């Protein structure tokens, strides 16, 4: 991105952060102490602190200058401030927190004007931009988890289901980001060869109606469908998180309201254990992340950066940075060359792969981003409706522990090997 584009994107990211938090007040700025959320007031300050740290305070010798907010490091350094203590910190009030955000952003924008050719600085501006994008999506998760109102709109209508598989012939493929192709996080680096056998992958993610068959057929009560870890996790849960049954009709809680279970929407808020149990029930399996990336990017002798091509066009043909899910038949113009739909957007997709480093992995300056989570998390791909389009591509790797069902995640399946 050019400095001019970066300035615009920074402002856009801040606008979205404010949009998804501006109505929260009083107790909502803290909420209950849960392992899967942060206090909103703390998280707003953390976003500003992170941007200031990397874009303004970091010196060339890696020492730090002082923050514009006294004591900011003791409040907002997520690597040093234990999660459970964040509710009890002497945080600035909301108005002061938003003022801190504004002062930092103004200084970053001014430095962009002064140093448009400083590549070292431009790298960290992009890092802070994408960090804020990820937190904006996390604010959506928090609102859903705590039953706050929908910050935008609800799921959309449109074309319905999309059935069937596509086949990709086996061979040698590249996995990961290529050099000199823009900003990438360290866990995407670098492209390396992998061998895959011929496989068949679903054209679309699993829908609510398909997953409902599993629920109604007592899939949550059938131990043979679950791994030992999955069976231990679920504690005989009857259905996905946020699904509720009234007189034989299944509904789901979306933010602060119960809504009809739309059968053509991709199932969402299922964790890795649930996805695996469904696959066993359906005689299917989760794709590896290499299979997923090949299905999204393969184009003859090369690869695409996005399923539809190499350019992030203005009207992105994917459900990214929008207000809610759409049916799995929508956005056909964004199909991959292989014929898979919604590889980017709508819902994150679990893969079978454990999160780990690529060959010759080298940790980037933001040391806490990837390396601490290798071996304990599962890889998700593709982004959700709440993911900004500028953040995501075919090589982008998300990662959560297999018990996390609060994120906007679903899955697609592969035919058995």
H or E segment to which residue 233 belongs = helix 228-234
Asked if the model's pLDDT at residue 91 lies above 60, the reply is yes
Question: Which token pair is 255?
Answer: 């933010």
What is the arithmetic mean of pLDDT over 374-382? 98
Q: Is the pLDDT of residue 155 over 60?
A: no
**Nearest-5° Cα angle at 122, 120 to 127:** 100
Q: What is the CATH number of domain 152-417?
A: 3.90.1580.10
Number of residues assigned to the chain: 417
Lookup result for tokens 């998180």: 241
- Could you tell me which residues come within 8 angstroms of residue 259 by beta carbon, excluding any fewer than 6 positions away? 154, 155, 251, 252, 253
Q: Are 258 and 204 in contact (CB under 8 A)?
A: no
Confidence tier at 323 by pLDDT (50, 70, 90): confident
Contact criterion met (CB below 8 Å) for 379 and 354: yes
pLDDT of 313: 61
d(CA 328, CA 230): 27
Whether 65 contacts 57, CB under 8 Å: yes
Contact 410, 347 (CB under 8 A): yes
* β-bridge pairing 348-354 and 409-410: parallel
Tokens for 309, please give them: 């091509």
pLDDT digits (tens, 9 = 90+) for 156-201: 566 688 999 999 999 999 999 999 999 999 999 999 999 999 999 9
Average pLDDT over residues 326-350: 96
The strand pairing partners of 112, in sequence order, are none
> Hey, which residues does 253 pair with through a beta bridge?
258
Residue ranges of domains in the chain: 3-146, 152-417
What distance in Å separates the CA atoms of residue 358 and residue 241, rounded to the nearest whole number? Answer: 33
Instruction: Say which CATH architecture domain 3-146 belongs to.
Output: Up-down Bundle (1.20)
Mean pLDDT of the chain: 95
pLDDT, tens digit (0-9, with 9 covering 90-100), for 114-129: 999 999 999 999 999 9
Instruction: State the residue for tokens 């809504």.
Output: 259
pTM of the model: 0.96
Q: Is the pLDDT of residue 235 over 90?
A: no
- Give the mean pLDDT of 132-160: 87
pLDDT band for position 380 (cuts 50, 70, 90): very high
């Amino acid at each position: 991105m050019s400095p001019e584009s970066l300035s615009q994107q920074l402002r856009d990211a801040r606008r979205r952060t404010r949009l998804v938090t501006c109505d929260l007040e009083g107790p909502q700025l803290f909420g209950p102490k849960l392992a899967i959320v942060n206090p909103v007031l703390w998280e707003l300050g953390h976003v500003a602190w992170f941007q200031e740290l990397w874009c303004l305070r970091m010196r060339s010798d890696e020492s730090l200058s002082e923050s514009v907010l006294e004591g900011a490091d003791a409040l907002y350094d997520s690597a040093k401030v234990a999660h459970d203590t964040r509710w009890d910190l002497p945080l600035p009030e909301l108005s002061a927190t938003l003022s801190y955000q504004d002062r930092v952003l103004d200084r970053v924008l001014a430095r962009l004007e002064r140093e448009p050719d400083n590549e070292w600085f431009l790298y960290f501006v992009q890092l802070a931009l994408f960090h804020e994008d990820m937190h904006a999506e996390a604010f959506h998760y928090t609102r859903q988890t705590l039953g706050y109102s929908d910050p935008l709109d609800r799921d959309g209508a449109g074309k319905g289901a999309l059935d069937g598989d596509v086949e990709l012939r086996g061979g040698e493929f590249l996995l990961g980001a290529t050099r000199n192709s823009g900003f990438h996080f360290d866990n995407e680096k670098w492209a390396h060869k992998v061998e895959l056998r011929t496989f068949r992958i679903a054209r679309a993610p699993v829908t609510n109606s398909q997953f409902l068959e599993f629920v109604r057929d007592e899939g949550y009560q059938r131990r043979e469908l679950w791994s030992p870890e999955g069976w231990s996790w679920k504690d005989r849960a009857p259905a996905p998180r946020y699904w509720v049954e009234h007189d034989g009709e299944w509904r789901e809680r979306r933010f602060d309201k119960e809504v009809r279970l739309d059968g053509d929407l991709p199932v969402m808020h299922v964790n890795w254990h649930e996805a695996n149990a469904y696959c066993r029930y359906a005689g299917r399996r989760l794709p590896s992340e290499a299979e997923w990336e090949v299905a999204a990017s393969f184009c003859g002798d090369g690869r695409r950066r996005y399923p539809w091509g190499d350019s992030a066009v203005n009207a992105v043909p994917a459900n990214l940075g929008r207000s809610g899910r759409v049916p799995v038949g929508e956005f056909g113009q964004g199909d991959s060359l292989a014929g898979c739909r919604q590889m980017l957007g709508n819902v994150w997709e679990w893969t079978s792969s454990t999160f780990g480093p690529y060959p010759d992995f080298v940790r980037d300056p933001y040391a806490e981003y990837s390396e601490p989570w290798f071996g304990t998390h599962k890889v998700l791909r593709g982004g959700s409706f709440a993911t900004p389009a500028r953040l995501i591509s075919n090589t982008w790797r998300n990662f959560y522990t297999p018990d996390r069902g609060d994120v906007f995640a679903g899955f697609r399946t592969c035919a058995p090997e």
